[in-house]
Structure 1
Amino acid sequence: MGLENLSANELREIDTICLRFETSLREGKSVSVEKAISDYQGEHVSLLEEELQAIQEEIRHSDLDDDLLSIEDRLPRPGTMIGPYSIDHLIERGGMGVVYSAFDRRLHRQVAIKMMAIQGERHHRLRERFEREARAVASISHPNVVELFDVGVEKGLPYAVMEFLEGQTLDQFLLEKKLSVCDIRSIGIQIADALEVAHQNGVVHRDLKPNNVMVSGHGSGSKRLNEDCSEEGMVGPRVKIFDFGLSRSEANMFVGSQPGSNQDETEDERTREGIVMGTPGYMSPEQARGEQAGPSSDLFALGCLLYEAFYHKRAFDGATKAARFASTLEHSPLGDPVLRGRDPELAKLIDDCLQKDPRLRPSSAASISERLHETPGREVLSSSAFGRRRLFELLVGGTLGGFAAVALRNSALGDASKESIANIDSIAVLSFVDLGRQTDDLASGSVGRPVGGREIFRGDQLAALLVNELSRMNDVKVTPFRPLVANTRKEYLQIGDDLNVDALLTGTFQSTRRGTKAIDEIDIQLVSSKSGNQLWGRRFLSETGESLLEQSRFASEIASAIGRSLTSTAEERKPPNVSAFSCLVDGSARSDPDSPEGLRKSLDCFWSAHSKDELFAAPLAGLGLTSITLAAQCGVDESIELIQQARETTVDALALDPASVDARLAQAMIQWQTLYEYDKAKQILLSLMDETPNHWRVRHQLGMLELVLGDVDEGLKRLREATQLNPTSLIAKLGLARAYWFTGNLKRASTDAKRIRDQHTESAYARGVLIDFYEQQGDWQLAAAEHVDIDFGDVKVGGKLDEDSYFEQRSKLDIDKYPYGPFGTLLNVAILRARRGSLIDDAKLGELADPTPPMLPFLLATHPMFQNARRLERAQEILPRPTR
């Protein structure tokens, strides 16, 4: 019997013991397999013993490997690679680590890499702290906190990958410049806002000081307050904080014991008490006494920074560390009365921050920010660049304990700081790249083809999942899923331009082991399609095999990062079966109107999802919408069956979820395409357009319906909007080109149709609209040229091809292989026969109408070959008006 045969509770019990055992070994504690087993009360002792011995052996070999190499041997050299990062050169080296300049070859940007460089027992202790702190600060998101892009381990040495920052540290900046009151307030607001986000996420800096604050200088995208501290015109110093989480490292640590302290305390106990952590002259009195440091300690340090900027000297100074400790504990700084007069409110705020008793300091960083926003002697500013920013909860915090060093370079920040994540109104999601397999089968740097019937890879699934969920943001356009990737900045820019979106969501994933667990590391980045800069990033850890339903939480966090939220659904109130949800995602990825093969495959997926959870409305809605869509493109018998299926599943879906967008869209399509209830359909589509303004299919259907109703201008407008919302859709683009033709704009129709054909040379539909157009113009030679690999005789330039010869050959061809459009077999044949002289009379129109082919109302109302049929008696039963 193996682990795979255990129940979830049994596996969880064994896993807990194994994790505790592994943690103790890595911390250097003396622990035995026998002792760990003694804590186990279950029936699978032998399995537990095997796991514990495997962990012990793995760690022993890892330690042996580490011991064989010196730190120097393990440190990377310039020109070598750490994952996707190419090491440029060493920037600095400290007592615990090194900082490198490196280049991210995936996103083509400069980064800084800080690597821990300590060996022996201390290495294991600090490595564990490093990893714990990485998890703690990963929840921080703020433009005034340095970004953390990645973490990892190279040859046993943990490293953190961060953004490069330009400019100077605040201590250097203050040596060179005397700041105006408004610039001091501006800097204080930025730091206070960043601290507020950190504190909300349970992270206390503990070592806030001028050389842990980077100033990028004027002109880097942050507004400067004018003489009256208004915001007009100027830009001022922008700051970023780094090196969070000192409590988990030993950098800048001054150790002292309280009387009676127990030297045998655990690591965590000694971290909490008896340890003085921080930098003398900026640490709070409670820190100086070795007490636990909370958010109020950071507010004290902020007061020290503001004091130094305002009075041009340190609040607590001295020639030695001991003198600065004594000053912090015993003295209260006196500010220059003349300087205090420049801004008495700011001076009072500084005094309040520097109170010895934490209870007398401001209640929070947010309250400091609010007081700094107050115009000196006036009311609170109403519109400051440093006002209450939207607090993005899930952007990767750009800090990491004492290891989050920042490399300083005057030209490294680039344009990313000038771009705002809050201004994103459109997103496309690229396929995620599995770092463990080749991705040659994905289109790179160009708009991809539909999934169709091929296998959906895990990277496609993740992308399709995010598209499915992010589409619930009403105010952000999310391009429908197509499998494609980008590998270079140029490709990011090209895809962004092709899809007309503000940003591209991309990512990688790989499986790793953490102790006994298999873990998927999923890295997600939001990249500007205008500059290629990364705007946001986050690493998610997910147990291998975790369901897509559980991973759908990623979408909520991404939406939060750009200041949006997802609309709720019935499924959120009653979560569906996890297997059903996975089938739903697969079906949604394949349900692309451009691919009949994909539509058929998606029906199988939706039926599978429905069989696993009959109360899950989304698969039924998917069945309804996909069935009526495919019914328009296939043969008569299949179409009749699909229309009936669409009607039944749509009714069932609406019974479970009356608000379902897909079900209501299917309902509108069924009404106007098969029941000829145009007004009811239009009301539904208008309502859906208000609720889901970025849904391309709603506008596409409304555009076709408006043409049927005779409103040409409104129809063309909606069809144009559909192509803008989904530039990948061939059906949408061809529908617009065909509409230009049917409404008399022949030049625009011909130009657009040829451009689309050149972009989609493999598409029968792209060639079909030109065949239809050229036949209507009587240009048999050009029509024949669109039939790939078919010999019509003399079709060379200057040659002669008459109508009879052309149709003699055309009539022999399979109409489904060379269709005029996505109209279905019956209607494509009707167009061909009408061209050959078999006009559509009342009886023939009856034959066409009996199986209610979905595209009949549209063609009858608009296509030139149905012009005479519009006057027939039976046409009056179908069309909303007597004539067209």
Structure 2
Amino acid sequence: MWHSSVTSGMAAGAKSCTLTWFSASPNMSATGEIVATTGQSLGRYRIIEQIGAGGMGVVYRARDERLERDVALKLLPAGTLADKVARKRFRQEALALSQLNHPNIATIYDFDSQSGVDFLAMEYIQGTTLDCKLTAGALAEKEVLSFGGQLASGLVAAHERGVVHRDLKPGNLRLTPDGQLKILDFGLAKLLPPEAASAGTETLSQTQHTVAGTLPYMAPEQLLGERVDARTDIYAMGAVLHAMATGRPPFPEEQTSRLADAILRQTPVPVRNLNPRISPQLETIILKCLEKDAENRYQSAKEAGVDLRRAAGAHSGEMLRAAPKRALWYRTLAVLGAVAVTGLLFSLNVGGMRNRLLGGAASPSRITSLAVLPLDNFSHDPEQEFFADGMTEELITELAQVHALRIISRTSAMIYKGTHKPLPEIARELHVDAIVEGSVLRSGDKVRITAQLVEAATDRHLWAKSFDRDLRDVLTLQSDVARNIAHEIQVNVTPQEEARLARSRPVKPAAHEDYLKGLYYWNQFTDQGMKKATEYFQQAIAEDPDYALAYVGLADAYHESANAPPNELMPKAKAAVLKALELDSTLGEAHATLGWIKWVYDWDWPGAELEFRRSIELEPDSGAGMYADYLDAMGRFEEGMRQHKRARESDPISLIGSSNVAYGFYLARQYDRAIEHFKKTLEIDPGFALAHMSLADLYWRKGMYKEYVAELQEGLRLGGYGQQAEGVGRAFRSSGPKGAAIFRLQSLKQQRSQGYVPASSIAAAYLRLGEKDNAVTWLEKAYEERDPELAWARVEPVWDGLRSEPRFVDLMRRMGFSSTLH
């Protein structure tokens, strides 16, 4: 449903998400709003239903009979446009605004008048407004960063056309069911007279004018009636980010005069004082947006967007291409019901590459381990961050083919993006002998990588070199850098490894760029990110049908998508990865992906192990984490722990890796060790939702129900399900553990009615209530959907109560398992 909210925005608790419905008067309501009746036509638009009302008019869903599409029809209040001249000017400016064509801006289609009624036809958007979502309280940081990045992107598009919103607030931001943010009413605060634009919002009357806008989100210069520009919207964006992060605007005063004084003179309470789970990086971004002097704010939405994307990349770094994450992703789906859980919260301040003098020529100690830090983007174009990050990942992948070197994974390396930590300190944290740092500069159809090798113990630069290539030869460039580094540290490179490093072929620049963009959005690890990643990988393949890595990326995007049953996406994933291996059978990551699909979807246990082993042979670190999870699922716990240790060596700063170890203890029925390990994980990051959810399951199993509810609530809140968290708490207080379990079951079934939730999640919820028949019935649904959670069914403790049930025994037999553990 699409509607405009009528709110002063003074406090989150005062907001209402209910629609204001008016009597079916054919012309005008008692309050002066023009209203219409169902079935009435205005021009080519047929009224379907009223969906909301705001200070700028009543809003209807209507049918455009000419173009056969639904639109949102906003009827302007009577008398808004006083005469034909005003109406003509409004039409001209409204049609100019219709040129704003961006995924994060609600499009204006048309402006017209009929029988004295002025109306705007706009894009009809399903979903809810942000202020409605905020009635449940603060959002998880992952959501704040995602919505904030989209908001910045929309503002960039508008500001580049010279359009300032002037009234950004949660009520003007609409969230679609698939997580897309749309900015509503762009530019209308300028087009409408102040008394109309400000109706329904809190304003201040000045001596000579009225300031239009919503006071809690209004910049100081706007409040004072001074000239506004794009930086005014940036302040409002900061206020919106503050509301998402804390559940309230920066200044919560309810009295207008006090609120105005606070905006002009007071410093906002630090965000982390109100919500300790918010990272220092996000807090810094919000406070910079909220600077009272516009000169001290971000000077463009593009700058703010870059910092938001960097924070999001570090925040979700745990859910990147690192091997262990795939298993935990499906564990997360099973626990949260298709919720993408927040990842690592270790992001650091943005900064440039160190300016160091080259060291002496002293012989270095033997180097057997390396970390490649994120390459700096020297193009000075924030839109090229994806290119620099992608080049970093490709260089890590190239070096990882050398078995004699231990290379730190992208997951751990990207934590240091923009950090100012001394290199020896970084090396100690990652347990490596040397660091590679550098920069990437893209100019036209040329690209330059400058790399420097630094000895960790002494911080001495051992080697530095620049590499220039045409974009078409960018893959060869990566191989050249990797070979030069290996030669410099005198590490043994086998003939087979040398051949793989030299196998690079030319790639079309447009295809490579689309591939890197696909990686960029894949690494965001959100539903919307996976959707965009899929589109970019498909574009890369269309540009260059023989680009093997693009097929691997497409396969990974398909099997990581959480918005559809696996039997819809996994066949596409398998087809893509098989094509990649047809083009290049030496891609270790392709074998790892195929092993994953054979394991969790085909249930081809021997075939999966062969692929994992082949992956590790080709690229030692590409499949170790997934192979460890596979071994745990097969009940081979000692072997699994050895592989977990191996995976952790290349990914030492990994919450997912740490949680995988804890989960292995859980599967082995070593519950106390599992609890201990999950707690250690939370010492690193208390905001890691998956660890809280896993602890909840462990506490239930041990009969520690108060602890169970506390951890479940915390995990749900961090996962963006604040209302569920409150509900399960109320259910526990009123009806004990059973009440909480019933509420959890109902919540999961409701979520499944709105989108994909693994059937195994609902089966587990029924079993918690002792309803074995219903549990097995839902496990049969999981079997039909090829639910990946069933890949752990042989050893998963939650199913222990079913192992003697005939239907469950038969299910295990059909999957190629025995129902008992050996």
TM score, norm. by length of structure 2:
0.48
TM score, norm. by length of structure 1:
0.45
- Which has more radius of gyration? 1
